[in-house]
Chains A and B, each alone.
Chain A
Amino acid sequence: MRELRIHGRGGQGSVTAAELIAVAAFEGGVYAQAFPAFGVERRGAPVQAFVRFNDHVIRLRSQVYEPDYIIVQDSTLIKDVNVFLGVKPGGIVIVNSGKKIDASVPAGVKLITIDATSIALEVLGLPITNTTLMGAFAAASGEIKFSALENALRHRFPGELAEKNIRAALKAFEIVKGGA
């Protein structure tokens, strides 16, 4: 079983990202489970959401403490929350940041930084980075196919909004693929 933990702030769409990643993974033929950290959901407050991927039914219901993958939607969280806590050796951490981040991940963990905010502003016109980071996650982890992500986005969002989000996700997908 592989596990993903998403850190974000209320309003950034971390829960939606977890749900859509699970939907895309399920399309790819694996069992997936997505759930929020049941926090006090307020705009700006630190929030977490989780996804599990498995080849058979997932029974475990606890939160994710030793993730294989971490997505950090807002690099200012690194000061407040130990976002890298428990990451497995060989794991992948994706941080939304335009700058080199002022923190180090544990040894053996791959750190990918991507300026998802700039991509989202350019493509969506809004600093909402969840769908952009989903593209980066698809490229970095291989857990979900980009085509499945497209389907999940089209299922969730109407018409042009879905297409815009797909373009943002694709941009991040290509950047991460190119960098790998």
Chain B
Amino acid sequence: MLEITEGSHAVAKAVKMSRPQVIAAYPITPQTHIVETLADMVANGELDAEYITVESEFSALSACIGASAAGSRTYSATTSQGLALMFEVCFNVSGMRLPIVMTIANRALGAPLSIWNDQQDSISLRDCGWIQFYAEDNQEATDLHYIAYKVAESVEVLLPAFVCFDGFILSHTYEPVDMLSQEDVDRYLPAYKPFQKLDSDDPISMGMYATPEYYLEFRYEHDQAMKRAKDVISKAGKEFGEMFGRDYSALVEGYRLEDADTAIVAMGSLCGTIKDSIDEMRLAGKKVGLLKIRCFRPFPAEEIRNALSHVKRVAVLDKNVSIGAKGAVAIEVRDALYGKTMPVLGYILGLGGRDVRISDIKNIISLAESGKGDQFYGLRTEVL
């Protein structure tokens, strides 16, 4: 049913309907409303789950490891400095192949301190072996949680997943969201049946020591699982579409891209503003289109290459920067297009909550058309 609600509340409801058995989280802006709402739901008896309050994000995700290893459907949420504090634990979760789902309300990293949005936090953890989804709006943000659990818990995958949505820009926005019913969610996402778990009657060890004779193979298997996740995501997204009418089978999604000369590539809430910008530019006769990356890990290189093979130039918008190199998405898109001749130009923008307007997207298209790129966009003139 379509209802108007805050993004964080919509996500909390989706998490509740996913029936997590254990939640361990530590509140941090702008993620707080999600875990506050879930804590209320558990306290009110609306959600039959164990809510573990902890003293830090490190402990939150560590508690999740125990819960997930014991066979529970497990959830957490964090952002920015909180995710940074989880760095070590994130590798342990994925290395132990625990299908934990964690919402990231994307926020900049300090110093300087910023509570505002960019995607530096989750992008900085791109190599930690978790699946990474990015939501354009609160509809996607809610739906992707059901899909994330389905994919993560699949025996072909068994990997944890981030569902990333832009802090404040989505988390604090009221907008209509079509919420599924509990019956619908139960049909799509049955109870979690762990492939293996810690069980005192049938003891196993998890997360053991790997000597040089074995470690490489563990990493290979982990990478293979992530690659298999592409098909599993497509299938889970297609099934979701067949059941509820919103198809998430594509890891990347084109908008007015078929006949575009210039393609913009972006992730997250920026895609909505870009779509409005494209409609305006199309009216003025400019052939511009968007390729939205919904799934950043596994990286859909082949899909990107196929979707962009016909364009004359590519402008990649990054709400992150790999300092000393480029934006992470630009680097990977260029890699996906290796051997192609069109220019792939990167623009770093919107860091630390800098607003991005339609006029900015139009300016970037003009820059791309004149071959100027690989730059920070929208800098205050005093630093130039």
The answer to whether A23 touches B4 (Cβ under 8 A) is yes
- A61 to chain B: which residues have CB within 8 Å? 166, 169, 269-270, 272-273, 356
> In the complex, which residues 354-376 of chain B have their Cβ closer than 8 Å to any Cβ of chain A?
355-358
Shortest Cβ distance from residue A29 to the other chain B in the assembled complex, whole angstroms = 11
Identify B173's interface contact among A26, A33, A62, A65, CB under 8 A: A33
Shortest Cβ distance from residue B245 to the other chain A in the assembled complex, whole angstroms = 14
The answer to whether A62 touches B357 (Cβ under 8 A) is yes
> In the complex, which residues 107-142 of chain B have their Cβ closer than 8 Å to any Cβ of chain A?
115-117, 137
- A31 to chain B: which residues have CB within 8 Å? 175-176
Q: Does A58 contact B (CB under 8 A)?
A: yes
Question: A43-62 CB contact bits vs B (8 Å, 1 = yes)?
Answer: 00000000000000111111
Q: Does B6 contact A (CB under 8 A)?
A: yes
Complex: chain B residue closest to A19, CB-CB? B174
- A65 to chain B: which residues have CB within 8 Å? 357
Shortest Cβ distance from residue B94 to the other chain A in the assembled complex, whole angstroms = 31
- A33 to chain B: which residues have CB within 8 Å? 173-175
> In the complex, which residues 247-283 of chain B have their Cβ closer than 8 Å to any Cβ of chain A?
269-270, 272-273, 275-276
The number of residues on chain B lying at the interface, defined by a beta carbon within 8 Å of a beta carbon of chain A, is: 25
Question: A14-27 CB contact bits vs B (8 Å, 1 = yes)?
Answer: 00001100110010
Identify A32's interface contact among B137, B168, B176, B269, CB under 8 A: B176
Stretch from A34-42, A136-144, A159-167 forming part of the interface with B: A34-42
Would A19 and B6 be within 8 Å (CB), given that A32-B174, A60-B272, A65-B357 are in contact? yes
Q: Does A63 contact B (CB under 8 A)?
A: yes
The answer to whether A58 touches B175 (Cβ under 8 A) is yes
Identify B174's interface contact among A35, A59, A62, A63, CB under 8 A: A35
Select the residue from A32, A62, A63 with max chain B CB neighbours within 10 A. A62
Would A60 and B276 be within 8 Å (CB), given that A33-B173, A34-B173, A34-B174 are in contact? yes
A72 to B124, CA, bound (A): 41
The answer to whether B173 touches A59 (Cβ under 8 A) is no
Complex: chain A residue closest to B274, CB-CB? A59
Question: B311-322 CB contact bits vs A (8 Å, 1 = yes)?
Answer: 000000000000
The answer to whether A59 touches B273 (Cβ under 8 A) is yes
Complex: chain B residue closest to A20, CB-CB? B174
- B272 to chain A: which residues have CB within 8 Å? 58-61
Q: Does B353 contact A (CB under 8 A)?
A: yes
A58 to B4, CA, bound (A): 13
Q: Does B287 contact A (CB under 8 A)?
A: no
A35 to B174, CA, bound (A): 6
The answer to whether A62 touches B168 (Cβ under 8 A) is no
A18 to B345, CA, bound (A): 38
- B4 to chain A: which residues have CB within 8 Å? 22-23, 26, 32
- B115 to chain A: which residues have CB within 8 Å? 38
- B227 to chain A: which residues have CB within 8 Å? none
A31 to B357, CA, bound (A): 20
Q: Can you list the 8 inter-chain pairs with the closest CB atoms, starting with the nearest?
A: A59-B272, A26-B4, A34-B174, A35-B173, A62-B357, A38-B168, A33-B175, A22-B174
B-side residues, CB < 8 A to A, are 4, 6, 115-117, 137, 166, 168-169, 172-176, 269-270, 272-273, 275-276, 353, 355-358
A-side residues, CB < 8 A to B, are 18-19, 22-23, 26, 31-36, 38, 57-63, 65
Cβ contacts A to B, 10 pairs, < 8 Å: A18-B174, A31-B175, A32-B176, A35-B172, A36-B172, A38-B115, A59-B276, A61-B166, A61-B273, A62-B273
